[in-house]
Amino acid sequence: MLVALIEVLDEFAEEFHRSYRQYGQDTVYNETGFYYDMQPRYIWDVWMDDDVWKTYLRSLLLPMLVEPSVLLLDNFVSHVSDESYKIVNEELSTHLVALQRLSVSR
């Protein structure tokens, strides 16, 4: 199972880099995970829904974008909704690229 998952991830990575090689590292936003330097046994509870996601896109991410970019996301339902694709493509002039289902459990 793990070998198959690694193959899927490798194939996705190859296709991603082939499709978006013209974008520099400063225009690819990897939002597939957040990493925090936290004390052991300390857990943050994070909550997201469609409204919070749209606010993030329009109020926080949009001002950071200075040129067309690529937004790499997991398959959380708010991230990959039709409305999310529309906002990212039309309002942010950015490509939304979602990871394949079940590929973020590595």
Report CA 39 to chain centroid distance, whole Å. 26
Looking at residue 34, its pLDDT comes to 58
pLDDT given at position 106: 46
Predicted pLDDT of residue 98: 92
12: helix, strand or coil:
helix
Per-residue pLDDT at 59: 96
List the one residue out of 73, 37, 69 whose CA is nearest residue 53.
73
Q: What is the pTM of this model?
A: 0.74
Q: From the first residue on, what is the mean pLDDT of each consecutive set of 10 residues in the chain (106 residues)?
A: 80 92 92 65 70 95 94 91 97 93 60
Separation of alpha carbons 103 and 106, rounded Å? 7
How far is Cα 66 from Cα 81, in angstroms, rounded to an integer?
Answer: 24
Domain ranges of the chain: 2-98
